[in-house]
Amino acid sequence: MKKDKVTIYDISKKLNISAATVSRALNNNPKISEKTRALVAKTATEMNYKQNRLAQALKNGRTNNVGVIVPYINRSFFSSVIRGIEEELTPQGYHIIICQSHEEAENEIEQLNALLNTQIDGIFMSVSKTTQNTDHIKKAMEEQTPVVFFDRKIDVEGVSSVVLDDFKAGFMATEHLIDQGCKKIAHLSGDINLEIYKNRYEGYKADLQKYDIEYKDELVINTSSKIESGMQAIDELWKLKDKPDAIFSAGDYAALGAIQELKQRGIKIPEEVCVVGFSNEPFTKYMELPITSVDQTPLMMGKIAAQVFLEQVKGDQALSIEKKVVLSPELFIRDSSSRKILNLSDGV
C-alpha cells in the first residue's frame, strides 16, 4: 500500500485557501500575491509535497517523456547517442525511455506503438536493418508525435533526421588511403539495403573516380559486422591475381578481422596493406596496432537530435517543419594506415 501522497488539496486545507490558488502559487502564476506564494511554497516543502506529473500530464497532454528506439542499447555507438540525447534533454525536464528493436522491424513497430500509448512527447529512433515499411512512422506523425531519426533513417514525409555524411566518410577514408600511396583499394561493404552502407560505398567509388582509379567489382566484398566476416573477405580477396594494397571497411569489426587474417598471412600493415575501419569503436585505439577509423560523433549526434526535437516542440506548430541535419565525419588516423610519419591528433 502506497503511503498517502500529499496533494494540493492537503495543503489547501491546511492553509484554508482553495486548491486552485495553491496550484497557481506553485506554478508561479503572475496573478498571485507574493505573500501567499511564499506561504504556499513554504508549507509545500514542509509537508513534503511533490507534484504528481501524471495528473499534470493527463491534464495538459504532455508527459515530458520521450522514447528512444535503437537496435541494441549496449552497442557503443547507440549508447553514446543516447547519452547525448539524455544530457541535452534532462536539463529541460524530459525523461528518456529506451527500447530495443533487436534489429527486427516487428519489435520496432511494437515498441513504437507501446510508446505512443504512453503518451510520449516525441520519439527518437534508428531503424532496424529489417525495416522496410513506414506505416508505423506515419502513424506516429498522424498523432502529431514528432519523430527524429538518427544515423539510420527512412524517408518519410515530415520526419526530421540527424545523420552522418556517410558518402563523405567513404570519400575521406578512400582519399586518405590514396594519399598513403595505395592504388588498389578494396572495400568491405555492409548491408547495402541500409542507406548508410550504400553511401559509404558510393563515397568510396566517387573518390576512386576522382583519382582516376578504375573501380573493380571484385574488390568489393559484402561483409557483416563480424570479425570472421572480415577474415573471410581477406580470404576471398587474396585469391585474386591482382591483390589489394588497402582495405576500407564499412565496419570496425570486419576491419579487425581483416587485420588478424592479414597478420596471419604474414602481410605487413601498413607497409604492404593499409587498413581503415568505421565507427571508431573504443577498441580501435587500444590495439597494439591502433586502427584508423571514421568517427561518427555519436555524442554530438544525440545532442543535435535532441535540439531538433526541442525546436520542433517549442516552435509554434506551424513552424515545425522537417529538418535534415547531416554531420561531418572525423577520420582518426592511426597506425594501421599511417605510412607517413605524421601521426595526427588522437586523444587517448
User: Does residue 234 bind a second copy (CB under 8 A)?
Assistant: no
Cβ atoms of 65 and 118 within 8 Å: the answer is: yes
Q: Which of residues 105-164 bind a second copy (CB under 8 A)?
A: 111, 113-119, 142-144
User: What is the helix (H) or strand (E) element at residue 189, kind and residue range?
Assistant: strand 185-189
Break the chain down into helix, strand, coil percent, rounded to 5.
Answer: 45, 15, 40
38: contact with DNA by CB under 7 A:
no
Total number of residues shown for the chain: 348
Q: Which does 60 bind (CB under 5 to 8 A by kind): DNA, a second copy, none?
A: DNA
126 interface partner picked from a second copy, DNA, none, CB below 5 to 8 A per type:
none
Say if residue 42 is exposed, middle or buried (CB neighbours under 10 Å; 0-12, 13-18, 19+).
exposed
SS3 302: helix
Binding mask 49-88 for DNA (x = CB under 7 A): xxxx--xx-xxx----------------------------
Alpha carbons 284 and 255: distance in angstroms, whole number = 10
Please state, as a whole number, how many other Cβ atoms lie within 10 Å of the Cβ of residue 97: 17
Residue with cell 516487428: 106
**Is there binding between residue 8 and DNA (CB under 7 A)?**
yes
Q: Is 338 in the site for DNA (CB under 7 A)?
A: no
Q: In what order do the strands lie in the sheet with 220-222?
A: 220-222, 185-189, 246-249, 274-278, 292-295, 330-332
Site string for a second copy, 44-83 (x = CB under 8 A): ------xxxxxx-xx--x-x-x------xxxxx--xx-xx
Q: Is 23 one of the binding residues for DNA (CB under 7 A)?
A: yes
Give yes or no for residue 86 binding a second copy (CB under 8 A). Answer: yes
Using CB under 7 A, which of 36, 76, 130, 307 touches DNA? Answer: 36
Query: Binding to DNA by residue 7, rule CB under 7 A?
Result: yes
The smaller minimum CB distance to a second copy, of residues 84 and 329, is found at 84
Instruction: Give the strand pairing for 95-100 and 65-70.
Output: parallel
Q: Is the alpha carbon torsion for 162, 167, 173, 176 positive or negative?
A: negative
Are 335 and 270 contacting, i.e. CB atoms less than 8 angstroms apart?
yes
Contact pick of 5, 13, 62, 183 for DNA (by CB under 7 A): 5
Query: With binding defined as CB under 8 A, does residue 91 bind a second copy?
Result: no
Residues in contact with a second copy by the rule CB under 8 A: 1-3, 5, 50-55, 57-58, 61, 63, 65, 72-76, 79-80, 82-83, 86-87, 90, 95-100, 111, 113-119, 142-144, 227-228, 256, 263, 281-283, 286-289, 317, 348
